[in-house]
Chain A
Amino acid sequence: MSNEKEYIEIFDNNRPLIETLCSALLNKERAKAFEQFKSTGFPKRDDEEYRRTPIDKLFAADYGMNLGRLPLQGSPADFFSCDVPNLRARQEYIINDSFYRDAAEKSPLPEGVLLGSLDQFAQTHPELVEAYYNRQAQESDSLAQFNTTFVQDGLLLYVPRDTKLSEPIQIVTLLRSNIEMLSNRRLLIIIDQNATADLLICDHSSNDKQTLSTQVTEIFLRRGAALNIVEIEETGEKNSRLAHLLVNQESDSRLNHCCITLTNGLTRNNIKVTLAGSGAEAHLGGLAICDKNQHTDNNTLVEHKASHCNSSELYKYILDEEATGVFSGRMLICPDAQQTTSCQTNRNLCLTKCARMYAQPQLEIYADDVKCSHGSTVGQLDENALFYMQQRGISKDEARHLLMFAFAGEVIEKINIEALRDRLHLLIEKRFRGELNRCKRCALCKQ
């Protein structure tokens, strides 16, 4: 039996259970997505988009799924604590595939802001959720359909017009299970006209079981909205992450996204940004630090549909030992997208002969008055610089750290949440010194 058949069967057999425990709205989209998934199945080996990250075999393992939505014993604080000192952030948790209702007292949010369980808001605010939920994901690939088929909950953030969130919101996604597990979670983020928010999403695993998670994040930036979003993945060798980040931007909105893969097993980040209104801006950053057999694949598509938009991408990979990096970045400039400026940069360090980097920058331009550039390089640490530092008394290991740190720093410098930037510098330094892998809890709080 092929892997999709197995999941189609699981869905058919458990459909009543899944649907009873979930809002009608999510179920309605589920039905559409299931039909799509049934006809396409998982991306195959010959699918160009997934050539370097085979999906089919990831689903071959025998995972458990918490379709009955059994609550987890204990609170996140019992097995996890994550705090970014100097960063006053409001923390929310998604444990496996459900929003965690926290008993802790929190400062009140500005009026009209919604933050909490997606499934619950689908029941209490159906007009809002219906207007946005699955609008982008339904156009996406079969993995997104898989997620919509099985997803039961996740998080919704809605920031109403002209509202500025003063504190960053930190969302911690945690994997916790006693068995091999597959979890599917969903984030829906709507920043209304001229509203702003800072968001930090930390992806963690807190056990040693093999896990696979799918995550679909749909973001809508209405006219003049601004969102800074930083994603940090700190999972383990046995964790696979298949994520979609889908962003729709109206005119004069501004997105600043940075995705940092600090530790992981296998990661695929699909990032699609649609600049739908004129004057919109999107800045994407990515940093992957991989060793052992870790695998990180960032697949981006920035679609310029309107005029006077500006996009930039900076993706950097540091690959040690037998790690693999994949970057596929496509910039698509539609016929109406005149006066576009767009640049894409991908720089990679392969520290060993066994480390592999596959880079595929793509630029498609259908407008005639645009300024676009792209570039990709793969290299090693500069031997001359290493020797220069050694001559000044710095050991070769330390010199390597300094060079790698400098290489990574360029991505971190573009993050515009200052306290987080300082924290990340420390985290990355620890990563290079091999101190992160030993940390069983969140590295942000373990100094």
Chain B
Amino acid sequence: MDNLIEIKNLHATIDGKEILKGINLSVKPGEVHAIMGPNGSGKSTLSNVLVGHPAYTVTEGEIIYKGQDLLALSPEERSHAGIFLSFQYPVEIAGVSMTNFMRAAINAKREAQGLPAMSAGDFLKLMRDKRALVNLDSKLANRSVNEGFSGGEKKRNEIFQMAMLEPTLSILDETDSGLDIDALRIVAEGVNKLKRPDTSTLVITHYQRLLDYIKPDIVHVLYNGRIVKTAGPELALELEERGYDWIKNPQAE
């Protein structure tokens, strides 16, 4: 089967400092990949580069997504092509209601697909249905984007947006950070319900905890800008037990 996304020898810098030093990674449709690694290893840089954050510069390598050159696309075009990032720190946008925000997002995508704007009735129904998926209070939907939301509400709101936009490739960047165990379960259940045979997920996390709920097919360890180990789900358990030191200093084995 063809890869959904293929990252080849990816190098990226921020403020002239090289963070990614040759990433190679392929994800097939339907797969869940976990990317683990210690702080500062480049996990968030990788997710930011995938969605085209302007602060990062790709200096070498390529990313092929659905057969096309991903790096040639603007952030919004990548979104239209089905890439979604659940932000580690969702941004508060004062004065922009969740409803207006989502309507703009949905209709931008529809426009890119050559479809007419969604009717108000259909849109509100869609909002209602998807809200239920992550138990998001209807009051939150009427408020400004993420403004005054608790940490858990912000993360649930990310998954709600993911449900609205139905991405092909979802990147969950530290979605478990700041969540208590109940919120974690709700978020993970939401992600699992959205899973389809043709959609893939990249789960970026420090801890194995989230992977109890979102089962990965493949686990990668990112260290110092490179993927240093790739294995099955059992690798996550091993990391939980032994930490990252044995990967950082293989000679110490």
Contacts A382-B91, A387-B53: A394 and B76 contacting too (C-beta < 8 A)?
A: yes
Tally of contact residues, A, Cβ under 8 A:
21
Q: Are B93 and A392 in contact (CB under 8 A)?
A: no
Which A residue sits closest to B106, measured CB to CB? A393
With A and B bound together, what is the CA distance between A415 and B108 in angstroms? 31
Contacts A388-B87, A392-B101, A393-B165: A406 and B94 contacting too (C-beta < 8 A)?
A: yes
Q: Are B75 and A391 in contact (CB under 8 A)?
A: yes
Contacts A387-B53, A402-B100, A402-B104: A393 and B93 contacting too (C-beta < 8 A)?
A: no
Q: What residues of B have a CB within 8 angstroms of the CB of A389 in the complex?
A: 93, 101, 104-105
B96 is an interface residue with CB less than 8 A from chain A: yes
A87 is an interface residue with CB less than 8 A from chain B: no
A101 is an interface residue with CB less than 8 A from chain B: no
A21 is an interface residue with CB less than 8 A from chain B: no
Q: What residues of B have a CB within 8 angstroms of the CB of A393 in the complex?
A: 76, 79-80, 105, 108-109, 112, 165
Q: What residues of A have a CB within 8 angstroms of the CB of B145 in the complex?
A: 388
Count A-B pairs with CB separation below 8 Å. Answer: 74
With A and B bound together, what is the CA distance between A382 and B93 in angstroms? 9
Q: What residues of A have a CB within 8 angstroms of the CB of B201 in the complex?
A: none
**Nearest CB in chain A: distance from B156 CB, A:** 16
With A and B bound together, what is the CA distance between A229 and B15 in angstroms? 51
Q: Are A390 and B75 in contact (CB under 8 A)?
A: yes
A-facing residues in B136-180 (Cβ within 8 Å)? 144-145, 161, 165
A5 is an interface residue with CB less than 8 A from chain B: no
A395 is an interface residue with CB less than 8 A from chain B: yes
Q: What residues of A have a CB within 8 angstroms of the CB of B101 in the complex?
A: 389, 392, 394, 402
The DSSP consensus for interface residues of chain A is helix
B90 is an interface residue with CB less than 8 A from chain A: yes
Q: What residues of B have a CB within 8 angstroms of the CB of A114 in the complex?
A: none
Q: Are B80 and A409 in contact (CB under 8 A)?
A: no
With A and B bound together, what is the CA distance between A392 and B144 in angstroms? 16
With A and B bound together, what is the CA distance between A393 and B85 in angstroms? 11
A396 is an interface residue with CB less than 8 A from chain B: yes
> In the complex, which of the residues B90, B105, B144 contacts A394, with contact meaning CB atoms closer than 8 Å?
B105
Q: Are A388 and B91 in contact (CB under 8 A)?
A: yes
B51 is an interface residue with CB less than 8 A from chain A: yes
> In the complex, which of the residues B52, B95, B112, B161 contacts A392, with contact meaning CB atoms closer than 8 Å?
B161
B-facing residues in A348-395 (Cβ within 8 Å)? 382, 384-385, 387-395
Which B residue sits closest to A383, measured CB to CB? B54
> In the complex, which of the residues A395, A398, A406 contacts B93, with contact meaning CB atoms closer than 8 Å?
A406
- 19 sampled A-B residue pairs with Cβ under 8 A: A382-B91, A382-B93, A384-B91, A385-B91, A385-B92, A387-B53, A387-B75, A391-B76, A391-B78, A391-B79, A392-B105, A393-B79, A393-B165, A395-B76, A395-B108, A396-B74, A406-B144, A407-B95, A410-B95
> Footprint of A on B, CB under 8 Å?
51-54, 74-76, 78-80, 84-85, 87, 90-96, 100-101, 104-105, 108-109, 112, 144-145, 161, 165
